[in-house]
Amino acid sequence: MESIENRILKKRKIKYTSDWTLWACYIILCAVSVVEVFSASSQDLKNGLVYLPITSHIQWLVLGFVAMFTLEHIHYKWTKAMMFVIVAGAVVLAILTPFIGVNRNGAVRSIELMGISIQAAEPCKLACAMLLAYVLSYFQKPDGTGLSKKGIYYGIGIIVVFVLLLVTQGGSNAILIMMVGGTLMILSVLPRKLVITGAAVLVVVIGVGVGAIMSMHNKQEATPTEQVVTVEKEEPKSEVSKALLKFFARFDVWKDRFANWAPDGIPEYEKPTTDENSQEHHAYMAIANGRGIGVLPGNSRECSRLQLAFSDYIYAIILEELGLFGGIIVLLCYLGIVIRACMIAKKCKSAYASLLIMGMALVIVYQAFYHMCIAVGVIPVSGQPLPFISKGGTSILIMSMAMGMMLSVSRYAVERTDSGLKTIDDDDELPDDLRADNPARGF
């Protein structure tokens, strides 16, 4: 049996270095962010100053870098203590937002605090991924064959709670929570029958939901509008009633967005631009104006016409100015993040380290793919910032924290050698509840 002195001596020989691939992807995305947000914010003058919007954005990028760099050098075992604070704060924020939040663009998604807009959905995504990483690793079977039944129940419960917290603040946020949570549960090694059953149920639920939305849309079109009687509704007095009214009002928004997106046999360029479809139309115009080769930064034609060009539709501006090459580079950066996270996760000794780095990667990459799919018209319109690129303080800070935790796992759970990644046996540094073996190592 190896002595404690030999283990300590071996520990000192380990070179704790962070993963350069993750760093490279982060730096490229931040560089693109500075250039494209400055271009997309050219019409967003504040107090007559052209540089004020980009200066504010750079300040958030610097703050995010500080948070990421700090977390990178803190052993990932301490994220368990951070998790309880982040989860509690995210839940409270999500509960309060429908009651005291600010209504912007027809939705209540943020709270104003000392002049800073705090988006409730962003910390909830991070909190859900952190909590799932801990719970799913804690309830691993002792024989290392995967997740126990109790872990399955707790995992599903956590996902349901966060979905209910976020469904009033945009259906896309609830969808992202389900995507991240479902993927983490699969990675924690679920029984194959349960995975197949869950996938079948999800397909049925999506089919029923889409059918219901289309039915409501068709019924509305078939209803005569000549003899519409307007009835004044009494304004609800209680805050709970107001919050419920806002919740049900979102169904009409989702229905209209899906109806605008659903193919109807008419080419998009033949449809008139209206208030309902102006965002997607100007996004398509921006992409078309780029002609695949780009018009170079600062020459965007649509940034002044496209609402929220610097946040919810920044990828359309990237395709317009940097062309297909720039769009592919951004896409490859996000793919690089998740692929490298998978490689590191497989080499981690503990299930917690593996699920933590994958959870953080999925929060970043799923949101990035969702944003890009919206910009190019693959899925219906919904507001999702592009991680590290879109203008928005809460998103930049939260995604930087996620990247910091990824770098921490890459630094303290694996070692880079000439022969590739090597597992670090760090059981002596982890508390008992974080020592479950990583089932992904057997894949």
Q: Contact, 413 vs 437, CB < 8 A?
A: no
Is residue 201 in some structural domain?
Answer: no
Which helix (H) or strand (E) covers residue 118, if one does? Answer: strand 116-119
Give the tokens for residue 397.
């800070």
Report the pLDDT value the prediction gives residue 255, as an integer from 0 to 100.
Answer: 65
Rounded distance between C-alpha atoms, residue 384 and residue 382, angstroms? 6
Q: What is the pLDDT of residue 215?
A: 61
Q: What is the pLDDT of residue 284?
A: 86
Let me know if residue 91 belongs to a domain: yes
Specify if 229 maps to a domain: no
**The length of the chain, given as a count of residues:** 443
Is residue 125 within 8 A of residue 363, CB to CB? The reply is yes
Q: What is the pLDDT of residue 133?
A: 95
In a domain, 337, yes or no: yes
Phi and psi at 420, nearest 5°, equal 115, -165
Tell me what pLDDT residue 326 has: 93
pLDDT value of residue 49: 60
Tokens of 215: 């039915």
Tell me the three-class secondary structure of 179-246, residue by residue: HHHHHHHHHCCCCHHHHHHHHHHHHHHHHHHHHHHHHHHHHHHHCCCCCCCCCCCCCCCCHHHHHHHH
Q: What's the rounded Cα separation, in Å, for the pair 326 and 116?
A: 31
Q: Tell me, what's the pLDDT at 32?
A: 94
Q: How many CA atoms lie within 13 A of 100 on its CB side?
A: 10
Q: Which of 74, 79, 20 is nearest to 356 (CA)?
A: 79
Q: Give the helix/strand (H/E) hosting 107.
A: strand 107-113
- Measured between alpha carbons, how far apart are the two ends of the chain, in Å? 28
> What's the pLDDT at 230?
45
- What CA–CA distances, in Å, run from 406 to 23, 130, 310, 400? 10, 11, 27, 10
Q: 139: domain range?
A: 26-190+277-442
* Continuous segment of H or E residues that includes residue 415: strand 414-417
Count of structural domains within the chain:
1
Tokens matching residue 190: 């679920």
Q: What is the DSSP annotation of 301-320?
A: SSTTTSTTTTTTTHHHHHHH
For residue 198, is it within any domain? no
Domain annotation covers residue 4: no
pLDDT of residue 265: 65
SS3 category, 416:
strand
| Six token digits for residue 309 | 């060009």
Residues of the chain with pLDDT under 70: 1-13, 42-50, 103-108, 114-115, 170, 191, 195, 198, 202, 205-265, 267-270, 441-443
Assess contact for 180 and 359: CB atoms under 8 A: yes
Q: In angstroms, rounded to a whole number, what is the distance separating the alpha carbons of residues 301 and 39? A: 10
SS3 (DSSP) at 49: strand
Residue 344 neighbours by CB distance under 10 Å? 23
Q: How far apart are CA 11 and CA 5, in angstroms?
A: 10
Q: Which two tokens stand for residue 346?
A: 């497989």
Query: Does residue 209 form part of some domain?
Result: no
Bridge partners of 140, per DSSP, are 147
Whether residue 271 is contained in a domain is answered as no
CB contact at 8 A, 198 and 137: no
pTM summary value: 0.86
Burial 251-277 (b: 16+ CB within 10 A, else e): eebbbbbbbbbeeeeeeeeeeeeeeeb
CB of 296 closer than 8 Å to CB of 321? yes
